[in-house]
Amino acid sequence: MILQNFFLKMKSAAVADSWFMHTSVMQYLVKTGLLFFNYFAPKTRLCQKVRTGSLGKGNAIHPTAIIDYDKVIIGDFCNIEKNVVIEKNTIIGNQATISDGVVIGSEGFELRRIAGQIIPVAHLGGVIIHDNVHIGPHVCIDKSSLGEYTEVGESSTILSSVQVGHGIKIGKNVTVSDGTMIGGYARIGDRVKIGKHCSISDGILLDEDIVITDYTVVTRDVKRSSHDTPRSS
């Protein structure tokens, strides 16, 4: 937890844009530090690991789905369709539906531009998909870059071509419509509804019961004021 806070602080714009981060000595130090981290962190306890995979009963899995069965836990009565790719360190609950062409647990898009080079950050986490989740076709769910899980809460629905970035926490009963892009480390509360083709910036907090209409670009936290009445449904 302390480590995670440290990383989030380092990522904040105030630190990243300050003058001492742009000096050549500091750039060199950050670059070597990052390369050191990328090399050693996957071998340490920071890395989330599903040691032994398991497969529950009553699952309907299409033969073209590619699943790393040794390091994936799948619950009961799941429906996994054609050309689905499920990478290691993924945990799927009961009665989940995963449609065609979905990629779960792929590498996230976290990169650092240091000293005229682009260096990727090693991703150590995994993905948890809770019970009764429906995931539409061609959705991408990335694994978290820190040693924790990207989560999709109970009874949530994600429609087609949605990107769920690394380290996102989606609450219960959430609906995310087609073509929406959600940036890294966003936290989405329970019963939120997100319209089609929205873009949600990284690190955003959406409170419970919020509705976001189609084509919205969200770049600031959305908090529910005390005057709002909760939705009846």
Partner 1 sequence: MKLSDILSEKNNIIRDGIFSSMGTLYSQYPQQIVYAVRESDIIKIMANASTTCVITTPSLVSMIPDTRGIVSAQDPQSAFYALQSALHQNPDFVLQPFINQISPSAKIHQSAVISSTSVAIGRDVVIEKNVIVNEQTIIDDGSIIRSNSTIGNIPLQLGAVKYCPEILPSGGVHLHREVDIHANTCLHRAIFKGFTDIGEQTKIDNLNTVGSGTTIGKRCLICGGVSIGESVVIGDDAWIGPNAILENQISIGKNVYITIGSTVTRDIDNDKVVKDNYAIDRKRFKKVIRGM
Instruction: Indicate whether 107 belongs to the interface with partner 1 (CB under 8 A).
Output: yes
Position among 115, 217, 223, 224 found at the interface with partner 1 (CB under 8 A): 217
Is 134 among the catalytic positions?
A: no
Size of the site for partner 1 (CB under 8 A): 29
203: left (phi over 0), alpha (psi -120 to 50) or beta: left
Instruction: Indicate whether 201 belongs to the interface with partner 1 (CB under 8 A).
Output: yes
Instruction: Indicate whether 225 belongs to the interface with partner 1 (CB under 8 A).
Output: no
Query: What residues numbered 37-96 form the site for partner 1, per CB under 8 A?
Result: 66, 83, 85
Measured between alpha carbons, how far is 50 from 169 in angstroms, rounded to an integer?
A: 19
Report strand pairing: 117-120 vs 111-114: antiparallel
Measured between alpha carbons, how far is 12 from 22 in angstroms, rounded to an integer?
A: 15
Instruction: Indicate whether 109 belongs to the interface with partner 1 (CB under 8 A).
Output: yes
Tokens in use for 128?
């948890």
Instruction: Indicate whether 103 belongs to the interface with partner 1 (CB under 8 A).
Output: yes
Which helix (H) or strand (E) segment holds residue 129: the answer is: strand 126-129
Burial of 173 from C-beta contacts in 10 A (0-12 / 13-18 / 19+): middle
Query: What residues numbered 137-156 form the site for partner 1, per CB under 8 A?
Result: 138, 140, 142
- Considering 130, 166, 197, 227, which one is annotated as catalytic? 166
Q: How far is the CB of 45 from partner 1 (least distance, A)?
A: 26
**Residues carrying an active site annotation:** 166
